[in-house]
Amino acid sequence: MKHLLIALAVSLVGATAAQAADLAARTYTKAPPLAAAYDWTGFYVGGNVGYGWGENTDPSLTVVNPGGAGNIGPFLTTGLPGFPSGNLFPNLKPSGAFGGGQFGYDKQFGTWVLGVVTDIQASDFKASGQITTPTATCCNVNESLSAKTDWFGTARAKAGFAANDWLFYGTGGLAYGDVKSTIGFACTPGGVACSGVAFAGNTSEVRVGWAAGAGISKAWGNWNVGVEYLHIDLGRSSVTAFSTNGAFTTTTIAESQRFAEDMVRLTVNYKWGGPVVARY
């Protein structure tokens, strides 16, 4: 029995030593370091340049012509013999280039980004046109309009999705801008029947409306470059034509025009704050 107990003890010690040897031979690797991801949080400032193409100005006529003096009111509203067309003021589509700057702040929450941005830029959105109505009885009637936006700005909210150093977002808010219109109405070359029929007018005003759009940005360190689509609508502005020689002091011709623009622009921004942060 004594020899049996000794043999059993030796076997147990050997098995334990073998298990210990196996454990010692195993290797363990460290967990990989956390990957760094871009952080869109921070203030930024930058510039932009782009091109805009306007929607129809959709002119709407208002004429005041007491007693039908000179047949101006009847011609514009219903047409006259020899002048069957009546109101032919052109429908315009102002377009052109623009450029300016922007300033904003973004805050990242996980993969979501919220922010605000304001911008202002000079623009060259403009269009003009004239339609001539010929007649066999005496003369031609020229009806002209122009529309122009010299500058505009926006103040907008942003909401987007960040895929590391890419940002996809939508945006919307307030828009404002300086809009200008001119109007002309005249008979040429004149003659007895058209004597004194000449009207002209212009206006300039700051209009307030709305803006909405979407964009995409790609970051490199503290710099990011993006492409943005934006639609702005500044509502309608009215321009009134008065007699240029005082022949029809009580007659006025007015056209209300809509100022709405679609645009695409390139943006370049510098953002303050660390460009990367560890994601857990």
For residue 128 the two structure tokens come to 């003009």
Q: Residue 217: what residue type?
A: S
* Cβ contact 129:148 at 8 Å: no
For residue 132 the two structure tokens come to 């001539």
Which range (75-79, 125-129, 132-136, 211-215) has the least confidence? 132-136
Q: To the nearest 10°, the Cα dihedral for 41, 47, 53, 56? A: 70
Average pLDDT score over the chain: 86
Neighbours of 107 (CB within 10 A): 13
* Cβ contact 209:261 at 8 Å: no
What does the angle CA 13 – CA 19 – CA 24 come to, to the nearest 5 degrees? 125
Q: What integer pLDDT is reported at residue 7 of this predicted model? A: 47
Domains of the chain plus CATH, in order, are 38-278 (2.40.160.20)
Write out pLDDT tens, residues 195-233. 668 999 999 999 999 999 999 999 999 999 999 999 999
Report pTM.
0.81
* Cβ contact 145:181 at 8 Å: yes
Q: Report percent pLDDT > 90 for the chain.
A: 66
The structure tokens 């240029």 sit at 244
Q: Identify the band that residue 10 occupies on the pLDDT scale cut at 50, 70 and 90.
A: very low
Q: What integer pLDDT is reported at residue 247 of this predicted model? A: 83
* Mean pLDDT, rounded, for 108-122: 97
* Cβ contact 229:38 at 8 Å: no
* Cβ contact 118:103 at 8 Å: yes
Answer left, alpha or beta for residue 264, where phi above 0 means left and psi between -120 and 50 means alpha.
Answer: beta
Q: Identify the band that residue 31 occupies on the pLDDT scale cut at 50, 70 and 90.
A: low
Q: Is the dihedral of CA 101, 221, 115, 263 positive or negative?
A: positive
Write out pLDDT tens, residues 78-107. 877 766 668 899 999 999 999 999 999 999
For residue 143 the two structure tokens come to 């009806």
Whole-angstrom distance, CA of residue 213 vs CA of residue 215: 7
